[in-house]
Structure 1
Amino acid sequence: MTRPTPPNTPEPSPFLTVRTALVLLAAAVIGLVIGGLTFLSGGHAAVAAVAGLTASGASVLGLHTLIS
C-alpha cells in the first residue's frame, strides 16, 4: 500500500524577521542605556523612563534606515 502524498503547504513565515528583531533589540538596549544614564545623573525615575522611551522610539527610526 502506498502512502498518500501530503499537499504542498508552504512553510509559515516567521513572526518577526531577523532584521526587525535586531532593530528592536538594539533600540531597547539604547533606551535602557539612556534611561540608566539619565537616572544616574540625578534625574527622577519618571524622567529617566521618559528619556529612555524617547531614545528607544527615535532609535527605531534611525536603525530602520541604517540596517538594510
Structure 2
Amino acid sequence: MTMHTAIILLAAVIIGLIAGILTFLSGTLVPAAVLAGLSASGLSIPVLRSLIG
C-alpha cells in the first residue's frame, strides 16, 4: 500500500467516524448512524483521491 492510499483511506475513515457520531448525536438510531458513516466514508474516497492525487 502506498503512502497516498494510506492517507486517503485514513482521511475517509475519519470523515466516516465524524459523520456517524454526529448522526447518532442528532438522535437517530445506531443502524442509521452506522449507515451514514459508511456512506460518508465511501463517498469521500473519490473526492479525496481527486483533491490529494
Instruction: Please confirm whether the aligned pair reaches a TM-score higher than 0.5, indicating the same fold.
Output: yes
**With structure 2 as the length reference, what TM-score do the two structures score?**
0.98
**Larger Cα-atom Rg:** 1
Which structure has more helix as a fraction of its residues?
2
RMSD, aligned α-carbons:
0.4
Q: Percent identity?
A: 53
Render the CA deviation track for 1:3-58: whole Å, top value 9, x for unaligned.
xxxxxxxxxxxxx1000000000000000000000000001000000000000000
Compare relative contact order (CA 8 Å, sep 6+) and give the higher one, 1 or 2. 2
**With structure 1 as the length reference, what TM-score do the two structures score?**
0.77
Runs of at least 5 residues in structure 2 that lack an aligned partner in the other structure: none
2:39 equivalent among 44, 48, 54: 54
Moved over 3 A (4+): none
